[in-house]
Amino acid sequence: MENAVEVKGLKKFYKDVKAVNGVDFSIQSGEIFSLLGPNGAGKTTTINVLTGLFPPNAGDALIFGHSIKKEPLKAKALMGVVPQEIALYEDLSARENLVFWGKLYGLRGKQLQKRVDEVLELIGLRDRQRQRISKYSGGMKRRVNIGIALLHLPKLVIMDEPTVGIDPQSRRHILDNVLQLNKQGMTVLYTTHYMEEAQELSSHIAIMDQGRIVANGTHAELVKLVGEQDRVELALSQDGGKVLKEWKKVKGVSKVDQEGEKIVLLVNDSNAVLPELFKIANQQNARIASIAIHEPNLETVFLHLTGKALRD
Amino acid sequence: MKRIFDIVGKDISQTLRSPMAALFLIAMPLMFTAFFGLIFQGVAKDEGAQEKPLVAVVGEAQDGSILNELQTLFQESGELTAAVFTTDEYPDSLILFEEKEAVAVLSLPEHFQFLSQDQTPATLYVDETSSEGQTALYTIQRVFSQQQILYSTSRLAVQVVDEQLPYASDQEYQAALEQVLAKAGQAWDKKAVTVSMERAVTETTDLSRIESAYDQSSPGMLVQFTISGLMGTAIIFVQERRTKTLQRMLTTATSRSAIIIAHALSMFFIIVAQQIILVLSGHFLFGVDYLREPLAILLVIVAFALWVSGMGTLIGVSAKNEDQVVLFSLIAMFLFTAMGGAWFTLENTSPGFYAIARYTPGAQAMQGLQNIIVRKQGLSSVFAPVGMLLLYAFLFYAAAILIFKKNKE
Ligand SMILES: Nc1ncnc2c1ncn2[C@@H]1O[C@H](COP(=O)(O)OP(=O)(O)O)[C@@H](O)[C@H]1O
Ligand SMILES: [Mg+2]
């Protein structure tokens, strides 16, 4: 299958800042791909080059096979871009903004009005569509900011930190929107410095720091880099000496410890192992009263790879 | 191309939505037109009554009849007032320039009469560089040539008759001549043949010829508030840079040049519409006779709007923020309004200032408009100012493009 995005040897320098310093990654059609990195990593610069805002110093990016350098118009037509900063006309209403941007994306007439209605529905601002943007809360502005990029039903949506600085409710709304869009077949390139978002949304994650991709893969693959295993903490309803012994024999379980009431297991892949653990407990007539799975997270991965924390 | 007009539509609705728009574009200019009109109304009336330039006719007391005849002829021209002085009173007739504020002094030799080959010619002293001097010179020349034609044709006629059928006496000859002269004079007055002469184009507005002060304040405020009217749209340039909507537009398939062109067009449309409203208000509210040459007025408006939008574009691409847009626009407004003679007629300014100011875009627009409404000239009288304005528009657009290209680097 054709890749939605292919970035090859991309470099972009400001005067003395190597903002993007040789970046390669590719995004499969239909997936959500996250670019995760701290502030200043070069995410926005990468996106800006990808969306044709300015040319790279080296390298190229292909959008569904169209080079952003050689065929910028074809490439641009295939994507919807949600800029990091809210880029709206504050003195126009949400609807007027959507209509204007829809026109710039080439929509006209009935189709334009239909798409505007659909997007207003999607971002949950139908009731307040006639109000000026300047009257909106930060979260509502963010939603309009995103909605604009969806008007022309692009095959690829690029979102640059769309959830920065908003209330949890709006954030949830946005993340749900992203998942929903992806279900409908849109490919999503999502940048963030929140590892929880990357983890929840994406099939593939690239970790970026100081203008370079330091690691790239599925969440599981990345975590494996650190060599850490899932930590499963549980409690049994009765004494389970026999159960613990059986559990130790299960493939993928490397350690079983009793820490007071709590039983701690280290397992390679909790998803694969848990059903087996439950089955054994059942056979021994033991009930699992509580359970918590702690996957090693991207925070640890980032720390491991760069020697510093993801968030300062 | 479609996108350009999408942006124009957006710009216009943004501009007109601002509460300041209606105030700045229409209400303020009308208020100030009325205000300045009322202030200057009295002045214009007073001066208008006595403002016709004075010609002093100087000669020997014994030649009273020809002196009085000339006085009457000059008065009847409608362009001048005339007064008779004798050489006894004023041996040095040039004193009359200062003493009586005459713009021309016509000094007649002894026994002067129209059509006499062997006499010392009359002498006309006049300052040709002032427009009043020109008016006097032109009027006096016209009166003289008219009289010479009358006298020579009459004399010729009587001579022809005399050769065929000689008059009995000199008295009869003289009587016939006077009769023919009188008839010829009447015929001239009936204007069986009308010789219409357009007055040579005078460069500036002569307040004396302004019948209503609105003829000055209406075009003046139009020029002033058109220049400040560009502010609302020019500000969109920097706003779009600040709010990153410019960057967002560039992620759609819209080019930078298309965006600039769209903003320039928006400004042009808004300014043309503003001027049309101001012209119609000037015509119907203040009685300024714009519509006697609608096409000429339209040409001036369009050319002026092109220049103003060129300047707005220049301001838009050079300003770093909204404050600078306001600052630059206000500087431009004061500069070009003052230099343009929008507040006061340039003619009353110092020669050095006048020499420069008359060629500024504001002055060219004023001239174009007042050629129609004050000087009552025809369509062709606006061609020169319109040409100048187009040249200015070109220069300002060129500067805007250069700065835009440089900033892009
Ligand atoms: N216009 C610019 N001029 C100079 N340096 C810039 C500019 N934009 C970004 N940078 C620098 O480039 C680096 C990457 O920035 P950016 O791409 O915005 O990172 P991120 O989006 O990951 O936070 C930072 O060091 C930033 O300071
Ligand atoms: Mg960023």
* CATH superfamily to which A228-295 belongs: YebC, transcriptional regulation domain (3.30.70.980)
Predicted local confidence at residue B192, as pLDDT: 39
Q: How far apart are CA A62 and CA A7, in angstroms?
A: 6
CA dihedral angle for residue A130, residue A131, residue A137, residue A142, rounded to 10 degrees: 40
Q: How far apart are CA A308 and CA A306, in angstroms?
A: 5
Backbone angles phi, psi at A264, to 5 degrees: -115, 125
Name the pTM for this structure: 0.70
β-strands A79-82, A253-259: how paired? unpaired
Predicted local confidence at residue B188, as pLDDT: 66
| A239 pLDDT above the threshold of 80 | no
* Atom nearest to A161 CA in ligand 1: 21
Sign of CA dihedral B223, B224, B227, B228: negative
- Categorize the per-residue pLDDT at B193 as very low, low, confident or very high, splitting at 50, 70 and 90: very low
pLDDT (tens digit, 9 = 90+) per residue, B369-394? 998 888 888 888 899 999 999 999 99
C-beta A56 within 6 A of ligand 1: no
Q: Which residues pair with A157 in a beta bridge?
A: A80, A188
| B186 pLDDT above the threshold of 80 | no
β-strands B54-59, B81-86: how paired? parallel
Predicted local confidence at residue B266, as pLDDT: 94
Nearest-CB residue to B247 (from A53, A76, A104): A53
- Categorize the per-residue pLDDT at B32 as very low, low, confident or very high, splitting at 50, 70 and 90: confident
Cross-chain Cβ contact B248/A91 below 8 Å = no
Predicted local confidence at residue B275, as pLDDT: 93
| B49 pLDDT above the threshold of 60 | no
DSSP code of A97?
Answer: H
pLDDT (tens digit, 9 = 90+) per residue, A157-176? 999 999 888 888 888 988 99
Task: Name the nearest CA neighbour of A106 among A150, A75, A73, A152.
Answer: A152
Is the ipTM above a cut-off of 0.85? no
DSSP sequence for B67-129: HHHHHHHHHHTSS-EEEEEETTT-SSTTHHHHHS-EEEEEEPPTT--SS-SSSPPPEEEE-TT
Check if the beta carbon of residue A148 is closer than 8 Å to that of residue A101.
Answer: yes
pLDDT (tens digit, 9 = 90+) per residue, B168-182? 888 888 888 888 888
Which architecture does CATH list for B53-189?
Answer: 3-Layer(aba) Sandwich (3.40)
Predicted local confidence at residue B207, as pLDDT: 46
Is B158 or A60 the better-scoring residue by pLDDT? A60
Report domain extents, chain B. 2-46+210-406, 53-189
| A211 pLDDT above the threshold of 90 | yes
What lies within 8 Å, CB to CB, of A79 at 6+ separation is A51, A63, A154, A155, A156, A157, A158, B251
**What is the dotted CATH code of the domain comprising A3-223?**
3.40.50.300
Mean pLDDT of B228-253: 90
* Residue found under tokens 């590719």: A26
Burial class (CB in 10 A: 0-12, 13-18, 19+), B2: exposed
Cross-chain Cβ contact B6/A100 below 8 Å = yes
On chain A, the residues whose CB falls within 8 A of the CB of B252 are 76, 101, 104-105
| A240 pLDDT above the threshold of 80 | no
pLDDT (tens digit, 9 = 90+) per residue, A68-91? 999 999 999 999 999 999 999 999
On chain A, the residues whose CB falls within 8 A of the CB of B248 are 81, 83, 87, 101, 148
Q: How far apart are CA B177 and CA B159, in angstroms?
A: 9
Predicted local confidence at residue B202, as pLDDT: 41
Report domain extents, chain A. 3-223, 228-295
Mean pLDDT of B78-92: 86
By residue count, chain B amounts to: 409
pLDDT (tens digit, 9 = 90+) per residue, B262-288? 999 999 999 999 999 999 998 988 888
